[in-house]
């Protein structure tokens, strides 16, 4: 049985006076490698997709990210109570467990309004439902939310009295960073309040994720600007077309000479682990790559024992005037099962829709690991640039790609094994 390993997330934020002093969160990945269990009972793991019912119904249960996500620390109340938070560009509301949440909130920090001098009653009802049926519900309250030494006064957030599907997650709650239209009506999101209260110089935030599991820190969320030390080259911008998710138009996705989709809609979502696309388009992508569908996991697998690395094509995403490329060692997941290595891709087919009913692509963490992402509320646009960690490649067993001409030092990295273990649900 593989040992679990944990890298604790830290919070490092300073006063606002210049670009280098903007509020930022140093993100550290918490990763675990569970034992294999194809009959998971009780509460499900949290889905990697964050949809709240304002979209078309989502019936598929997706691969979770219970042991692969990015969190930081915030504090709520006076005196302060610290919470481990998952920052999510695919939802809007902030919620943490309430002191009234009992069995389903074990081992999580809880908010007690009676112990905060700055707590104010709100009373609005809260409920959020995720793609796998997990949920949180409760009631809104207003209090001071602190990120480092930056305090957002009278911030509305939900104290969750009931949660389901989070018993295995190491974070306490979720802080949404999408547009207000996805949030609970009448409540102002924390990022909007940061800007309205004059706490940040620009209504922009940006993410850097490092795909190297041993990197310290593992990433950064910065409020108010971008960090030019975390990307190379120029930034490509695309306009947000619907003010809900951070949704924009891609020119196309291309593999070799095959166009997988044209004029396709996409969102950037830090709350999604994989890269998700419509089933038909994902099937075409995998036929071009040379992958076959594995019904047990809902993923596509490839032969990585005898195929040359050079036989795997790049996957190219055309956005704006730029092409964002994922090469084979950037889109394969490699794990060990009874001393046999199995290789899957990070692309998964699920028919999901935006608020207009159009099919969408979701560019999750395996895309954002390679490309620095910017979210500009003032100009309603997203920005992408090549991450400084773009060239990191996951380490793999030396027995794989045996006939490859490439000389790469391989050693097995177990970070991806959970993807198969927790996915015991067929996507039909």
- SS3 of 232-244: EEEEEEEECCEEC
In this structure, which long-range contacts are made by residues 307-312, counting pairs with CB atoms below 8 Å and at least 24 apart in sequence? Answer: 307/401, 308/401, 308/403, 308/404, 308/405, 309/401, 309/404, 309/405, 309/406, 310/404, 310/405, 310/406
Residue with tokens 């999901």: 352
CA–CA distance from 116 to each of 53, 77, 142 (Å)? 32, 5, 11
Angle at 312 between CA 310 and CA 317, to 5 degrees: 120
Q: Which residues contact 203 (CB under 8 A, 6 or more apart)?
A: 191, 195, 376, 377, 378
CA distances 211 to 252, 365, 370, Å, are 25, 9, 8
Q: How far is CA 229 from the centre of its chain?
A: 22
Does residue 307 contact residue 399 with C-beta atoms inside 8 Å?
Answer: no
| C-beta of residue 286 within 8 angstroms of C-beta of residue 347 | yes
Catalytic residues, which ones? 88, 269
Q: Got the DSSP string for 69-94?
A: EEEEEEEETTTTEEEEEEEETT---E
What Å distances lie between residue 245 and 21, 24, 346, 398, CA to CA? 28, 22, 21, 41
Decide if 326 contacts 367 (C-beta within 8 A): yes
Structure tokens at 69: 């996500």
Q: Give the DSSP letter of residue 313.
A: P
């Amino acid at each position: 049985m593989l040992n679990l390993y944990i890298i604790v997330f830290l919070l490092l934020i300073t006063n606002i006076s210049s670009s280098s002093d903007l509020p930022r969160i140093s993100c550290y990945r918490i990763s675990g490698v569970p034992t294999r269990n194809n009959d998971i009972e009780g509460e499900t793991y949290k889905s990697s997709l964050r949809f709240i019912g304002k979209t078309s119904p989502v019936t598929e249960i997706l691969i979770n990210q219970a042991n692969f996500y990015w969190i930081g620390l915030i504090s709520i109340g006076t005196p302060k109570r610290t919470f481990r938070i998952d920052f999510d560009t695919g939802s809007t509301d902030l919620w943490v467990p309430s002191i009234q949440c009992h069995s389903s909130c074990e081992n999580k920090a809880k908010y007690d309004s009676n112990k905060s001098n700055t707590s104010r009653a709100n009373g609005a009802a809260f409920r959020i439902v995720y793609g796998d049926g997990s949920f949180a519900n409760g009631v809104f309250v207003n209090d001071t939310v602190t990120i480092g030494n930056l305090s957002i006064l009278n911030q509305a957030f939900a104290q969750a009295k009931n949660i389901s599907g989070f018993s295995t997650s190491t974070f306490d709650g979720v802080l949404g960073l999408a547009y207000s239209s996805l949030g609970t009506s009448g409540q102002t999101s924390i990022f909007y309040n940061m800007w309205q209260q004059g706490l940040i110089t620009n209504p922009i935030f940006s993410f850097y994720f490092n795909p190297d599991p041993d990197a310290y820190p593992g990433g950064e969320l910065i409020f108010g600007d971008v960090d030019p030390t975390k990307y190379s080259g120029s930034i490509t911008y695309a306009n947000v077309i619907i003010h809900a998710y951070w949704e924009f138009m891609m020119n196309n996705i291309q593999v070799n000479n095959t166009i997988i989709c044209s004029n396709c809609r996409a969102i950037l979502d830090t709350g999604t682990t994989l890269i998700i696309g419509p089933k038909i388009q994902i099937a075409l992508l995998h036929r071009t790559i040379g992958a076959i569908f594995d019904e047990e996991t809902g993923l596509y697998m490839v032969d990585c024992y005898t195929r040359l690395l050079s036989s795997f094509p790049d996957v190219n995403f055309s956005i704006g005037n730029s092409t964002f490329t994922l090469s084979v060692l950037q889109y394969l997941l490699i794990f060990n099962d009874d001393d046999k290595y199995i290789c899957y891709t990070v692309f998964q087919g699920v028919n999901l829709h935006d608020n207009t009913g159009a099919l969408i692509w979701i560019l999750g963490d395996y895309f954002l690991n390679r490309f620095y992402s910017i979210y500009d509320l003032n100009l309603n646009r997203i920005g992408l640039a090549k991450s400084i960690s773009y060239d990191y490649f996951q380490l793999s067993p030396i027995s794989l790609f045996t006939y490859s001409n490439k000389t790469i030092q391989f050693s097995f990295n177990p970070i991806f094994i959970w993807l198969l273990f927790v996915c015991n649900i067929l996507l039909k």
